[in-house]
Amino acid sequence: MTAVLFVCLGNICRSPSAHAVFRALVASEGLEDKISIDSAGTAAWHTGNMADDRARSVGRLRGYDMDDLRARQVTVLDFDAFDYIIAMDQNNLQDLQALAPASYAGHLALMLDFSGKDSGEVPDPYYGDITDYEHVFELLEPAATGLLAHIRDSHNL
């Protein structure tokens, strides 16, 4: 089983959106028994909360369900459990690199590294409006497709 963790700051906007997009893609490919998926935040502010209403609304319109996802904070134990830990922006990646044990042999990367375009960041939509959430999904969908292609190639799935 290949395990993937998506990480943003509070785990209520970007990372649960990435989780939902990637989960739907994995399910459509019939790979649920080969790839496990979770999401977390580098901060604990929203622990236990559902994804932001705006993220869930835009996700629902695009065919993604996030209602079962609850925010949690990333821990050092995640480095034992996940082969891929995917950050939404450079600050999250730096926080993860600081937390990662020296022995971590998995893949730490930015989500947009898999988009097929130049690397970049998934912007935090929290203080924006609904169009900012739509933009997040527009960035996540091709990146999720690229990530799945990478995992399929790397793990012969």
Catalytic positions, written as ranges: 8, 14, 124
The answer to whether the beta carbons of residues 5 and 125 sit under 8 Å apart is no
3-state SS string for 51-74: CCHHHHHHHHHCCCCCCCCECCEC
SS3 21: helix
Helix axes 130-155, 53-61, angle to 10 degrees: 70
